[in-house]
Chains A and B, each alone.
Chain A
């Protein structure tokens, strides 16, 4: 009997609190409304929110990071990525994708393409409010629809962006250091012609 009354007290407290606290405060025994009126109010996006992929470019639309290596298409579990490498005027392949199609009705948002890409070119976006009236025209995204600037990536995933930028900077520095050392070695090679050439590090 008392238990019933105590239970009814709890629900009454919840009822009254739903009018007093329009947003439920944090904590265990608090009460209040938890409803978000969806299109007008949205949940704050978490950083690791994983949705459909997008391609990154640095600066202008011509600097696509993707080199069309096809690794993401091979790793994709439902095989929703289709890549065709670009060719230049003579027909020699160029490190750019001409066609990069992702079928969003097949994509299962697993993120394996992002983990597999060695060039940090494809990442998972936070877009989920996409819908269309038919499948082929509106829900298969082509290369130009998928391209988004690096600043967008920085905005939606700041910590990942910071980590990746640091890694890329380190790699760039190492490459620059290696290139400089190679240039120094190449420079040091033809200078003394009579002295026997010191063994170069490439040997």
Chain B
């Protein structure tokens, strides 16, 4: 019983921290600090995955997002010449229309969520392991897998073409 309460409190606090980090991404004036808050938000999401017993996805989330994507983003920040300069404004003056449209969007989505009858499927008793995921990726979902690899190759070739010195 106490363990459950303890677990709930810890998960909710981690979620709250990652929400704060996500707010920080948007609100910090320095773009490097915003990138670091994004790292924090992504790690929070990974912890959420762990709490939902999907360890493989959590670890892959950290590996890909924090290890690869955020490294790329931070490289881009470093290589862009004056982006760290504090005098370049990071926010513009359109916060009021943005908030209004956000309110409409949240209202729409909220009413959609509340009105849909979500069918409850049978509970998964065993966690989804890497083995099951692997079999699915190369069995049932092999076509999207191959399409994704073609997209990745296209991205690589594009990068090589852009970076060539001719």
A/B contact in complex, CB under 8 angstroms: no
Residues of B that sit less than 8 Å from A by CB: none
Residues of A that sit less than 8 Å from B by CB: none
